């Protein structure tokens, strides 16, 4: 599945969100220990509200993978950069002494402007798991569209704050099929290695993994996969494996072993705050305004662009509206954020020369989830790590790659859980709705059947071999498939369609898309390494030719 050694003697993996049932909070991890790690800011990139009237050479909308790459490379080339982030800085501990909330105890830090949690796994044993929380600019956004909910990270670091760290490089042939105008040899010789180094990607010590109690669930997953003839393969991650070894030994506060993932990780995970953004801050040329939202970009009379920005408080209320100018603007708000903003700017006349490919080519990376009920002789373990280490590869034969995920409830569940990435042709389109003043997405829930059918090529066979059944209590009453969401939004400003071959938006000079919106809906694996590598490729050319 990957150019990284994903050896056939694989390990178990974890989905981007973890299941947490013990205290009624579901996604991430379980109440496995009382220890938690005191979090601390590591970027050195303190949030500095940009003043109205300011001028910057380069303004970046968003602080996720693509935006962080652009900021670092522009700064190292000698250009001043200002980043605008809608979410919080996540650099100040809460009353519990930690920056990020524990997944088993969601609080005001957990969800983006919701008064009730909306967890991907909504039920356990038939009981609903969501709970009321104070409405706040929390870290995980569950953004609802017709037919689908899109989970996204909110804050400095974007999706890197809330994903499971599964860092997979796709096969060359799969990448070539996705982005045929990009030089594949160049990507795999230069930009994927650069991205993996920049992200801090490493592989788990397989000899340790074989005996680690926290990966019992993954070894059960391997046994079942291999008994049915499927390759079960190790995958890299951005977690600090030495830290996890110390967690298991009881020498440090627990992080992945305390289920920290979907609401942030306080210790072992290398999010962008610890990698690209920390390096960008070290240049002294990068500043960021957290809790600021770009509302408009228009050509300025004297050249460059006028950018309108709202500063908000932690309840989402606008505190101030500002206008700044920038020579160049990079859209890096994630697939959904960039697509929505560009769609609105084109439709409302702010950027009318954007072409008719804006908003198109959006997909869900074929995400679908399911669980299986194992026999009593196949316990999956009370202690489960929240970080993925492997998956089941049936891409060639059935169009599916399945992460093996934990259900870290703190009790033995005898359950296996999976997030599948599937090959799907379905693409949706964003459009401006003048009646509501919002951007809509025309996703059709029935399209998920393609993904379900692909996933069934794995799990129907495993169930038949093992004499097991699907769980029906995780996504509602008597519902097998989690087909209501995606963790991997992609597309909306597709490379070579809405942009040129390096992300320059058609119709304007000095406007760029540099995030997951460039990728047309599917990557065959978890997408953030590809987003990072493509950003490395594109910004290198942009710096050389446009600055």
Q: 128-167 pLDDT, tens per residue?
A: 889 999 999 999 999 999 999 999 999 999 999 999 999 9
Classified by CATH at the fold level, domain 55-544 comes out as FAD/NAD(P)-binding domain (3.50.50)
**Is-contact 416 221, C-beta < 8 A?**
yes
Residue 219 pLDDT: 98
Residue 141 pLDDT: 99
Residue 23 has pLDDT above 70, yes or no: no
- Which structure tokens are listed for 384? 């489960």
Give 314-339 pLDDT, tens digit per residue.
999 999 999 999 999 999 999 999 99
* Distance in angstroms (rounded) separating the CA atoms of residues 78 and 73: 9
* Distance in angstroms (rounded) separating the CA atoms of residues 49 and 41: 18
More confident residue, 14 or 364: 364
Residue 25 pLDDT: 33
Residue 103 pLDDT: 81
Other Cβ atoms closer than 10 A to 250? 11
| pLDDT band with cut points at 50, 70 and 90 for residue 45 | confident
Residue 507 has pLDDT above 70, yes or no: yes
Reported for 174-178, long-range contacts at CB under 8 A and 24+ positions apart, including other chains, are 174/395, 174/523, 174/524, 174/525, 175/523, 175/530, 178/519, 178/520, 178/522, 178/523, 178/524
Residue 43 has pLDDT above 70, yes or no: no
Cα 543 → chain centroid: 26
Give 90-113 pLDDT, tens digit per residue.
999 999 999 999 888 899 999 999
pTM, entire model:
0.93
* Distance in angstroms (rounded) separating the CA atoms of residues 331 and 345: 12
* Distance in angstroms (rounded) separating the CA atoms of residues 93 and 268: 17
Least confident among 3-12, 62-71, 89-98, 356-365: 3-12
* DSSP assigned state of 396: H
Residue 11 has pLDDT above 80, yes or no: no
Going from the C-alpha of 33 to that of each of 15, 160, 253, 259, 415, the distances in angstroms are 21, 24, 9, 9, 21
Going from the C-alpha of 111 to that of each of 87, 100, 105, 155, the distances in angstroms are 11, 11, 12, 11
Residue 8 has pLDDT above 50, yes or no: no
| pLDDT (average), residues 31-53 | 62
Q: From its phi and psi, is residue 206 left (phi > 0), alpha (psi between -120 and 50) or beta?
A: alpha
| pLDDT band with cut points at 50, 70 and 90 for residue 353 | very high
Q: Show me where the domains of the chain are located.
A: 55-544
Residue 503 has pLDDT above 70, yes or no: yes
Please report how many Cα atoms fall inside a 13 Å half-sphere around the Cα of residue 84, on the Cβ side: 31
| pLDDT (average), residues 43-61 | 93
| pLDDT band with cut points at 50, 70 and 90 for residue 36 | very low
Going by C-alpha positions, the residue among 380, 414, 384 that lies closest to residue 125 is 414
Structure-token match 């202690």, residue found: 383
Active-site amino acid positions: 403, 488
Going by C-alpha positions, the residue among 297, 333, 293 that lies closest to residue 316 is 293
| pLDDT band with cut points at 50, 70 and 90 for residue 5 | very low
Residue 3 pLDDT: 53
Residue 375 pLDDT: 98
* Distance in angstroms (rounded) separating the CA atoms of residues 448 and 366: 8
| pLDDT band with cut points at 50, 70 and 90 for residue 522 | very high
Residue 29 has pLDDT above 80, yes or no: no
Give 256-304 pLDDT, tens digit per residue.
999 899 999 999 999 999 999 999 999 999 999 999 999 999 999 999 9
| pLDDT (average), residues 436-455 | 99
Q: Coil, strand or helix: which one is 419?
A: strand
Residue 104 pLDDT: 80
Residue 33 has pLDDT above 80, yes or no: no
């Amino acid at each position: 599945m990957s150019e990284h050694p994903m050896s056939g003697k694989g390990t178990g993996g974890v989905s981007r969100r973890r299941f947490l049932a013990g205290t009624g909070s579901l996604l991430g991890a379980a109440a496995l220990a009382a220890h938690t790690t005191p979090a601390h800011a590591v970027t050195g990139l303190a949030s500095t509200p940009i003043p109205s009237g300011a001028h910057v050479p380069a303004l970046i909308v968003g602080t996720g993978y693509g935006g962080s790459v652009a900021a670092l490379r522009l700064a190292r080339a000698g250009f001043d950069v200002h980043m605008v982030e809608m979410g919080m800085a996540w650099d100040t501990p809460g009353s519990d002494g930690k920056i990020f909330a524990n997944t088993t105890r969601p609080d005001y830090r957990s969800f983006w402007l919701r008064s009730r949690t909306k967890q991907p796994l909504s039920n356990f044993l038939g009981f609903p798991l969501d709970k009321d929380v104070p409405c706040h600019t929390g870290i995980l956004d569950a953004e609802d569209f017709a037919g689908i909910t899109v989970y996204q990270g909110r804050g400095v670091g974007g999706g890197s704050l809330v994903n499971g760290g599964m860092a997979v490089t796709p096969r060359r042939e799969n990448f070539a099929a996705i982005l045929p105008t990009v030089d594949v040899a160049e990507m795999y010789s230069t930009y994927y290695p650069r991205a993996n180094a920049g992200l801090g990607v490493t592989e788990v010590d397989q000899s340790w993994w074989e005996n680690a109690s926290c990966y019992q669930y993954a070894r059960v997953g391997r046994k079942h996969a291999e008994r049915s003839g499927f390759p079960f393969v190790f995958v890299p991650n951005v977690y600090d494996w030495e830290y996890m070894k110390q967690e298991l030994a009881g020498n440090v506060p627990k992080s992945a072993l305390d289920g920290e993932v979907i609401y942030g990780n306080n210790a072992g995970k290398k999010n962008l705050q610890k990698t690209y953004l920390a390096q960008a801050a070290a240049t002294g040329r990068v500043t960021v305004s957290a809790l600021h939202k770009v509302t408009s970009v228009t050509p300025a009379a004297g050249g460059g662009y006028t950018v309108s920005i709202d500063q908000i408080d932690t309840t989402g209320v606008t505190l101030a509206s500002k206008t700044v100018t920038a020579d160049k603007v990079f859209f890096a708000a994630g697939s959904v954020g960039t697509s929505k903003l560009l769609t609105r700017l084109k439709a409302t006349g702010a950027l009318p020369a954007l072409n008719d490919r804006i908003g198109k080519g959006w997909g869900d990376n074929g995400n679908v989830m399911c669980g299986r009920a194992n026999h009593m002789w196949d316990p999956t373990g009370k202690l489960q790590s929240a970080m993925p280490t492997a998956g089941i590869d049936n891409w060639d034969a059935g169009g599916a790659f399945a992460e093996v995920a934990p259900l870290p409830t703190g009790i033995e569940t005898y359950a296996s859980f999976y997030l599948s990435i599937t090959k799907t042709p379905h693409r949706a389109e964003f459009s401006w709705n003048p009646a509501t003043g919002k951007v809509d997405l025309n996703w059709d829930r029935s399209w998920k059947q393609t993904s379900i059918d692909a996933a069934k090529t794995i799990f129907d066979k495993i169930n038949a071999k093992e004499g097991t059944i699907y769980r029906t209590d995780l996504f509602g009453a008597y519902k097998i498939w989690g087909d209501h969401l995606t963790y991997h939004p992609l597309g909306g400003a597709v490379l070579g369609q809405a942009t040129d071959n390096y992300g320059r938006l058609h119709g304007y000079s000095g406007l760029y898309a540099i995030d997951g919106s460039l990728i047309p809906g599917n990557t065959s694996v978890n997408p953030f390494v590809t987003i990072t590598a493509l950003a490395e490729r594109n910004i290198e050319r942009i710096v050389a030719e446009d600055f």
